[in-house]
């Protein structure tokens, strides 16, 4: 592992600069941490190399891993490649940030966790939604008991998105929301997982999925995700005994509804109010967190274990979906 001190900005390489990887590279460049980019596709590499003229470029990511001046790598390649690249990076002594999901197979995710611990490398998973300021604020607000006992969570991640051929809508979209659930309620254990989906565009690849999770203490979660939906909808509703929280992810607004039904089955409506507003720079906050963890040798908010636990949930849901295809 390349040595950095608390006062030094680590040298970071981005592997995979098509699409989302470009955004990661630009943010790291603005933070003064980007030293190299790697991509086997020149159509991805060349334009960004021209834009970021002071960074090294590699058509083969292995060249970046051989560079001992590089402290860490950010992996934004297609999900099926995550395991091999992350493993090679850890074995090369690098700290690693890998976009979500960490892998498609739970066993591979846990292998990376063990390998990172063996090599004393930081392993962080890119669950971007956790770095929307509204989410950690909401975690603390709920922990203070502001809406009483939480009964249920309702999440929607819908839109006319880019269909994938290697993963279904639940894997592509739902991992955001599962990560939020685990951050908001880390003490709750999972008792049951039920998944339903429909493959419309491609055989065996569900475009529309519903995931229900029963947690300890009677908490229930309900997630609907689809990339075959006419309107873009990103929302979280949390039903409590003393109020209802609504989080509009698109507008970055948290609303408290002082509404419900009492023991006599009489409706209660004491109005609603906006209690928190976020902003649109979670990616910068995410990269700042990764850099700070490298400098201080601190555990990341969404470390490898957190990412592997999300994959565990997704894998169990995937098994149910697969069983219903037969």
16 has pLDDT over 60: yes
> Total structural domains in the chain?
2
Q: Are residues 141 and 119 in the same domain?
A: no
pLDDT level of residue 3 (50, 70, 90 thresholds): very low
pLDDT per position as a tens digit, 87-110:
999 999 999 999 999 998 999 999
Q: Are residues 25 and 139 in the same domain?
A: no
Residues 15 and 61: beta-carbon distance below 8 Å: yes
2 has pLDDT over 50: no
Task: State the CATH number of the domain containing residue 56.
Answer: 3.40.50.720
pLDDT per position as a tens digit, 44-93:
999 999 999 889 999 999 999 999 999 999 999 999 999 999 999 999 99
Cis previous bond, 101, omega within 30: yes
Mean pLDDT value across residues 158-186: 93
In order, the DSSP letters of 237-265 are EEEETTEEEEEETTTTEEEEEEEEE-TTS
Q: Are residues 169 and 273 in the same domain?
A: yes
Alpha helices in 42-105, H assignment, sequence order: 42-51, 61-66, 82-91
Q: Are residues 295 and 160 in the same domain?
A: no
1 has pLDDT over 90: no
In a domain, 321, yes or no: no
Q: Is the dihedral of CA 314, 111, 130, 141 positive or negative?
A: positive
Spatial separation of the C-alpha atoms in residues 14 and 74, rounded to whole Å: 5
Q: Are residues 64 and 183 in the same domain?
A: no
Task: State the CATH number of the domain containing residue 138.
Answer: 3.30.360.10
Q: Are residues 101 and 170 in the same domain?
A: no
Model's pTM, two decimal places? Answer: 0.92
What pairs with residue 111 in β-bridges? none
In a domain, 324, yes or no: no
Q: Are residues 274 and 291 in the same domain?
A: no
Mean pLDDT value across residues 206-226: 98
Q: Are residues 41 and 110 in the same domain?
A: yes
In a domain, 5, yes or no: no
pLDDT per position as a tens digit, 266-313:
999 999 999 999 877 999 999 999 999 999 999 999 999 999 999 999
Q: In whole numbers, what is the pLDDT of the chain averaged over residues? A: 94
Alpha helices in 31-78, H assignment, sequence order: 42-51, 61-66
Dihedral, CA of residue 59, residue 63, residue 64 and residue 68, to nearest 10: -160
Q: Are residues 138 and 268 in the same domain?
A: yes
Q: Are residues 161 and 203 in the same domain?
A: yes
In order, the DSSP letters of 140-199 are HHHHTTTT-SEEEEEEEEEEE----SSS-HIIIIIHHHHHHHHHH-TTPPEEEEEEEEE-
5 has pLDDT over 80: no
pLDDT level of residue 250 (50, 70, 90 thresholds): very high
Report pLDDT for 324.
Answer: 80
Report pLDDT for 165.
Answer: 87
In a domain, 306, yes or no: no
Mean pLDDT value across residues 224-251: 97
Of the given ranges (33-37, 55-59, 124-128, 168-172), which has the lowest mean pLDDT? 168-172
pLDDT per position as a tens digit, 303-313:
999 999 999 99
pLDDT level of residue 126 (50, 70, 90 thresholds): very high
Q: Are residues 96 and 118 in the same domain?
A: yes
In a domain, 2, yes or no: no
Report pLDDT for 25.
Answer: 98
In a domain, 120, yes or no: yes
Q: Are residues 273 and 140 in the same domain?
A: yes
What range does the domain containing 173 cover? 134-278
Report pLDDT for 266.
Answer: 95
In a domain, 294, yes or no: yes
In a domain, 17, yes or no: yes
Of 12, 172, 157, the residue nearest 78 (C-alpha):
172
Mean pLDDT value across residues 196-220: 96
């Amino acid at each position: 592992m390349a040595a950095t001190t608390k006062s030094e900005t680590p040298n970071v390489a981005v592997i995979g600069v098509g699409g989302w990887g470009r955004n990661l590279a630009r943010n790291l460049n603005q933070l003064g941490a980007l030293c190299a980019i790697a991509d086997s596709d020149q159509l991805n590499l060349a334009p960004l190399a021209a834009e970021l003229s002071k960074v090294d470029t590699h058509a083969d990511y292995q060249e970046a891993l051989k560079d001992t001046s590089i402290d860490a790598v950010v992996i934004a390649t297609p999900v099926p490649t995550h395991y091999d690249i992350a493993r090679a990076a850890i074995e090369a002594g690098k700290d690693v940030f890998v976009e979500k999901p960490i892998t498609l197979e739970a066993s591979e995710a846990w292998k990376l966790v063990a390998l990172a611990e063996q090599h004393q490398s930081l392993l962080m998973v890119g669950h971007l939604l956790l770095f929307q300021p509204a989410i950690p604020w909401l975690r603390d607000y709920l922990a203070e008991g502001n809406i009483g006992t939480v009964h249920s969570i309702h999440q929607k991640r819908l839109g006319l998105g880019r269909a994938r051929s290697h993963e279904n809508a639940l894997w592509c979209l739902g991992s955001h929301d599962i990560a939020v659930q685990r951050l908001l309620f880390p003490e709750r254990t999972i008792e049951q997982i039920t998944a339903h989906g429909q493959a419309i565009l491609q055989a065996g690849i569900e475009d529309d999925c519903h995931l229900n999770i029963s947690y300890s203490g009677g908490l229930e979660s309900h997630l609907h995700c689809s990339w075959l939906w006419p309107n873009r909808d990103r929302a979280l509703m949390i039903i409590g005994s003393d109020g209802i929280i609504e989080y509009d992810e698109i507008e970055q607004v948290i609303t408290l509804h002082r509404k419900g039904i009492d023991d006599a089955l009489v409706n209660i409506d004491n109005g609603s109010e906006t209690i928190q507003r976020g902003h649109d720079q979670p990616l910068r906050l995410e990269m700042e967190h990764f850099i700070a963890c490298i400098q201080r040798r601190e555990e990341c908010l969404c470390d490898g274990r957190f990412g592997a636990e999300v994959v565990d949930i997704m894998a169990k849901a995937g098994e149910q979906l697969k069983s219903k295809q037969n």
